[in-house]
Structure formats: C-alpha cells, structure tokens
A = this chain, B = another copy of it.
Amino acid sequence: MINKNSPIPIYYQLEELIKDQIEKGDLKPGDALPPEREYAETYQISRMTVRQAFTKLVNDGYLYRLQGKGTFVAERKVEQGLQGLTSFTEDMRARGLEPGSQLINFEVIPAPVRIAKYLSIEESSPVYEIKRIRLADQVPMALETTYISTDKVKGLTQEIVNRSLYEYIEGTLGYKIDHARQIIESSVANQIESEFLRIQEGAPIMLIQRNTYLEDETPIEVVKSSYRADRYKFMIDMKR
C-alpha cells in the first residue's frame, strides 16, 4: 500500500490511498477514520507524516476533524477551487453533457486597450484572439473569446487549441496556473450573440469573464464568455 522507498512522498501516497477508499465507498460519508496513531503504527511511519496527509485532505474538503472524537469523512467533497476553470470540457462532462467546440476565429491581433490592461502588456502588442462556439450535446451553450499574449505563450496553433489549450500551457510550456478571478453578470443577448447561440435577441444571458494568473500574479489569459441562461447555471461550492 505505502512504499517508503518510493520517490513519491509518503504523505502523498497516504492521501491518495484515503481518497481512493472514499471514492470506492470503503469509507462512507460520516465514517470515522482509524486514529492517526493507528495509521502511524500500521504503516510504520511517523504520526506527523500521517497528520500532513490528513491536514491536506481536511483543507481539500474530504475530511473533518473533531478534537477528542476523531477524523471523519465529509458528507460530500466540497468542490472548491477552479472547478470548470480548467476547461469548458470538464465542466460539461461534470454536468453529464457531451462537450463540443466550433472554432470560428483564430488570429493574432493588436491587443485592445482593456485586454492589454488585463494581460499587463502594452496596448496594441500582439495577442491571440480565439473565438469559439461551445456546444453541449450538439447545442450551442456559450460564445467564448480567449485572449493570450503571444509573448507569454509562444507557438500556439489552431490545432493545439482544438486539442487542449491548458495542457499546452501547463504541460508543454511548463507554466503553473495558480488562480483565477471570475466576474459574472447578467445581461441580454445582442444581435451577434443571439445568432451564434440561436436564441432570441433580448433573451437573458450570463456573461462570465475569467482572468487566469500564475503564482506571481502574471496574467496568462483572459476569457470572455456569453452563456445561454436557459441552459447554464453557475454553481460554486465554498469553504470557510
């Protein structure tokens, strides 16, 4: 179960082990876990190492601790963090819908003033502008425009965008996306939106702008989306 000679940290192995048990149902919501000291004894590791794993799982919403009583499986994992942020694709799959995408524009343009500000670059410096219709079960769900600086993300192609933009940024380029700010507002569809989304002009839509950053606050991308309000609700779980 736990390999002490592995280069993978012990606390991380234990984390995954417990998460597996929760997902497989061996540990059910409300169940008490064996005490920390028992894990330490069982796997012949230090209790502090066990606590390191537990603490991470508590922060991630899998467990909660009660002093003097024990450590318990949370009722359901609180989906905090960038759920749906990593990709439209994952968001739709989580909703049980089949994601699709239709590229309608891919070009390099001089950055509009507001986009330049969000990306912390000079006005009119080159940025990729990627316009897509996002589909769910073959029906238009959102109209999405992504802006990325050509300086920060080099060598972007249409083909990469169609495969997986995030995989390219994080995997190939080695950036580590750390956090994002989203601004959500209600509006009504204008003529362009109504055409692409196949809804009436004036129908309610949800505008979502997402700015993505690295650890040191370097902006990586700006995404502006218009979602059909009749098909999309924004859900978010938050932990104190």
Interface residues of A (CB under 8 A from B): 29-30, 48, 59, 61, 64, 72, 74-76, 78, 80-82, 85, 177-188, 204-206, 215-217, 227, 229, 232-240
Contacts and interface: CB of A to CB of B under 8 A. Distances in A.
SS of A interface (majority): strand
Contact of A179 (B188, B204, B205, B240): B240
Given A75-B216, A76-B217, A236 B184 contact: yes
B75 A234 contact: no
A181 B235 contact: yes
Contacts of A72: 216
Contacts of A75: 216-217
Given A238-B81, A240-B178, A186 B206 contact: yes
A183 B235 contact: yes
Nearest to A180: B238
A237 B180 contact: yes
A13 B181 CA distance: 30
A175 to B, nearest CB: 12
Contacts of A178: 64, 239-240
B236 A179 contact: no
Contact of A240 (B82, B181, B183): B82
A239 B184 contact: no
Contacts of A64: 178, 215-216
Contacts of A232: 185
Contacts of A187: 186, 204, 229
A82 B219 CA distance: 24
| Residue from the set A30, A177, A185 with the largest chain B CB neighbour count within 10 Å | A185
A233 B185 contact: yes
A166 to B, nearest CB: 11
A205 B186 contact: yes
Contacts of A85: 238
A182 B240 contact: no
A69 to B, nearest CB: 11
| Residue from the set A64, A76, A80, A240 with the largest chain B CB neighbour count within 10 Å | A240
A39 B224 CA distance: 44
13 contacts: A59-B59, A64-B216, A75-B216, A82-B240, A181-B236, A183-B233, A184-B184, A184-B234, A185-B233, A185-B234, A186-B206, A186-B227, A188-B188
